[in-house]
Structure 1
Amino acid sequence: MTDEDTLDCVVAGGGPAGMVLGYLLARAGLRVTVLEKHADFLRDFRGDTIHPSTLTLLRELGLVEDFLRLPVNRVTTLDAVVDGTRVTVADFGALPGPDAVLVLAPQWDLLDFLARRAGRLPGFRLLMSTTVERAVVERGRVVGVEVSGPDGERTLRAALTVAADGRGSRLREVTGAPPVESGVPVDVLWFHLPKPPDAPPDTLAYVGGDGLVLTIERGDRYQAGHIIAKGGFDALRAAGLPAFRDRLARVAPHLEGPARTLTDWSQVKLLSVQVNRLPQWHRPGFIAIGDAAHAMSPMFGVGVNYAVQDAVALANALALVLLRLKEARNRAADDRSGATPPDRRLAERLAGELDSALAAVQRRRERPVRRMQRLQVLGHRRIARPPRGDRFAPRWVGPVLRVVTPRLRRRVAHFVGVGFLPEHPSPLLLRSAHPADGEIE
């Protein structure tokens, strides 16, 4: 096992949070390595929604036009069918600014896009097929990670170590306390269905007495989901696939034909829904962000958005400190007198500033996360209530929704698409290392 020169930052996890953070810090002139345990980004049934606030971030970085040239699906409204009554629950077109749209794109397209752009920056490195084994801790401070990959085992040392590797993170335990779990009474089954020739207008959700079915548009097919009671998958399997297909058709009748393509349970993937949050996201030299710090449920589709916002907030808070720390450490390393030079003392002081900034990032991001998680848990409890016969809600709810939702569409669009505390890159992060790349100088 060999040690490499100290990086400015090492990031575990090549998901949206890790890739955005790596790109932003490298753009500021820092040396960043992002570690992804898989050989590629092709994992299905991930969050596919790119929210208006994330589009605004890409616009501010000069990336949005190129991103939108990818094969994406733009959605200006979100509809739901509740007990047969169609209602528009969110109108993103009513939001201010040029990014008044929700974009549906396979997550691997977003990650490939970010990897290509970050790869043009001299300080960025992405190591695929590389697993983080454990954190390296010296005198109470996280100073890097031990990893295994195609070249064997090695140690990557860094001024800052970031866990962005999801709810199964191997690093989050270094914070010293397990996550606090919120009781979630539901799980989600994900599967693909062909879109029927006579498909109705794009619809996010169908709700009825047999539960809730999601239909996310992907060209000629749906990425579909079905909400079930927590731990209820075994009973559903025991009842058989025909009963499952009938259940889907009762909630969304136009899926009766497409559901026949489900011929084996291997086509159905179980997502065990979690909502949790670490009591403390950080310790000296380390912080967790995204699902590694706070696992979000699929409700409202905000997980990617909140992970990206964490990355922006962290880059805003840490980029300048890391740059100053890098300079001080370089000067201290050049001193061969054997004494403790001023630059070494400065590096120690800046390390303390870095740790204070990590605590400030948690304070800033924890507030919107708590609010959203609270609403997610309330929503899950409502969905998990026993049905009223063959209906999800009393008959008077449909007419009321048609009257009330026009007043709420913009508020729901802002709540879902923008969130409680959208982040914007600092001027330092807007400075481009490669003007020819089409980014802001």
Structure 2
Amino acid sequence: MESTTCLVAGGGPAGMILGLLLARAGVEVTVLEKHGDFLRDFRGDTVHPSTLVLLDELGLREDFAKLPYRRVNSVQVPIGGRMERFATFDHMPGKYKFIAMVPQWDLLDLLARAGDAEPGFRLRMHTEATDLLREQGRVVGAKYRTKDGATGEIRADLTVACDGRDSTLRAAAALGSRRWPTPFDVWWFRIPRNGTDPAGAVAVLTENRVAIMIDRGDYWQIATLIAKGSDPALRTGGPVGVIMRSMAEAVPWLADRVDAVPSWDEVKLLDVQLDRLDRWYTEGLLCIGDAAHAMSPVGGVGINLAVQDAVAAARILAPKLLSHAVTTRDLARVQRRRTVPTVVTQTLQRIAHARAIGPAVSGAMNISNAQRTPLALRVFRRIPVLRSLPPFLVGRGVLPEHAPDFARRP
């Protein structure tokens, strides 16, 4: 039977950051990733200012600077034929006054290369964690299955579930959770971007459409909101072109791209969930990131919170893992450290769901693209510092984590 000190299930941002940090502490760590590469569309591609600072602390600034990323430092809203600036990162503390939009596979490849430089780091692709190993009520590792169907087991002092909102290991542990209703799902798709288009992010608000357009350089990555569970009926109820035609009503410069989405196959569905484990751990197992708290896409903060979870877990648990003495009290410390930012963020998302997004997708809110600027935008225009408040909460987050000394590199 194979063995390691820490077994990490899931090679997303949380799993790769945790594996890298623990390996730099001298811990033997194995990361399991069920796919053969990281190439998947419409995964979270946002790298927030707090994560950019973390990459600096890890000595990865120059490597990250070589990746193809796009800076988003403002959000604009088309109102009455003109663009109104709704939010800006201009007043963000520190040198990173933007969110970096980078293909997640490039970021994960960067972290994998950094991990490969550490003797205790091992990344196993095409290997999916399928169940927990238990002895006398304690989790002692996990079972796995490879692409070719081979199965095996890996023993570990600690197993960490970083395998997302549909976590197999979280389900196997039968940990209790709370789930809140979400009024919407998201359609993801992309369209070409012209050089004359505005830069940054653009929010589209009409009586027929609520969407956010994210500047990715030569294309727009678009998230449009639909009522929860309405995807099957909408796909069979009309041609895909209705999406872009409704957006062009509010954004005239999109009129030349109303046929940019050729078929429904190009439109990917995100089933929005919002939940949180009551307890993120059991003896020998810890859940972090979406495996512990599935986030709404509001604010695009899911990756940032998952990365912060990983940093806190590495700082708290590395000394215990080196002495092979991790206890449930240590795992509870990780949850206590990360509970406040998780609860605050999810509470703000629930408020946004109830007060804005729910009424918008149900048609109860009278959103208009008329000449009159909505009250909220008029207030933000008169008090510029307010335009920095949402970006501050999104970009920095609550209780940001910094790299522990053992993981820092010049």
Is TM-score (shorter-chain normalized) higher than 0.5? Answer: yes
Structure-1 separation of matches of 2:33 and 2:79: 40
**What do the CA deviations read for 1:365-397 (whole angstroms, capped 9, x no partner)?**
121111111111221231221255561797552
- Identify the residue that residue 13 of structure 2 maps to in structure 1: 16
Number of the residue aligned with 2:194:
196
Cα RMSD for the two superposed structures: 2.0
Q: State the Cα deviation string for residues 411-430 of structure 1 (Å, max 9, x = none).
A: 22221100011001222333
Change (3 A) 1:25 1:390: closer
Tell whether the 8 Å contact from 1:79 to 1:90 is kept in structure 2 after alignment: yes
Aligned equivalent of 1:145, options 130, 137, 142: 142
Name the counterpart of 1:422: 400
Q: Which residue of 1 aligns with 2:352?
A: 379
Deviation (angstroms), 1:248: 2.5
The Cα offsets for residues 293-332 of structure 1, whole Å up to 9 and x where unpaired, read as 100111101111000000000001000111122xxxxxxx
Check the 8 A contact 2:51/2:304 in 1, yes or no.
yes
1:61 is matched with 58
- Name the SS for the 1:241 alignment partner: coil
> Could you say which structure has the larger radius of gyration?
1
Q: Which stretch has the larger CA shift, 173-182 or 307-316?
A: 173-182
* Identity %, equivalent residues: 44
What pairs up with 1:33-432 in 2 under 5 angstroms? 33-81=30-78, 86-150=83-147, 152-237=150-235, 238-325=237-324, 350-351=325-326, 354-381=327-354, 382-385=356-359, 386-389=363-366, 391=368, 395-397=373-375, 400-430=378-408
* Total equivalences in the alignment: 403
C-alpha distance in 1, partners of 2:188/2:365?
A: 25
Give the TM-score taking structure 2 as reference length.
0.93
Deviation by residue 1:200-254 (Cα, 9 ceiling, x = unmatched): 3433322222231211122211111111111122232212223333222224332
Q: How far did residue 99 of structure 1 move? A: 2.4
Partners of 1:285 and 1:222 in 2: how far apart?
43
Q: 1:100 to 1:246 in 2, by over 3 A?
A: closer
Q: Distance in 2 between matches of 1:100 and 1:214?
A: 20
1:236 aligned partner, one-letter code:
L
Conservation of the 8 A alpha-carbon contact between 1:196 and 1:254: no
Runs (5+) with no aligned partner, structure 2: none
Whether the 8 Å contact between 1:78 and 1:203 is mirrored in structure 2 is: yes
**In structure 1, distance between residues paired with 2:137 and 2:22:** 25
In the TM superposition, what is the alpha-carbon distance from 1:97 to its structure 2 partner? Answer: 2.1
Mark the CA change 1:323 to 1:390 in structure 2 (over 3 Å): closer, same or farther.
Answer: closer
Tell me, in whole angstroms, the C-alpha distance in 1 between the residues paired with 2:21 and 2:332. Answer: 20
Mapped to 2, the partners of 1:202 and 1:146 lie a distance apart of 44
SS at match of 1:239: coil
The amino acid of 1:358's aligned partner reads L
Deviations 1:327-383 (A, max 9, x none): xxxxxxxxxxxxxxxxxxxxxxx24xx321101111111211111111112212312
Does the aligned pair in 1 maintain the 2:79–2:250 contact within 8 Å?
Answer: no
Counterpart of 2:51, as a letter, is T
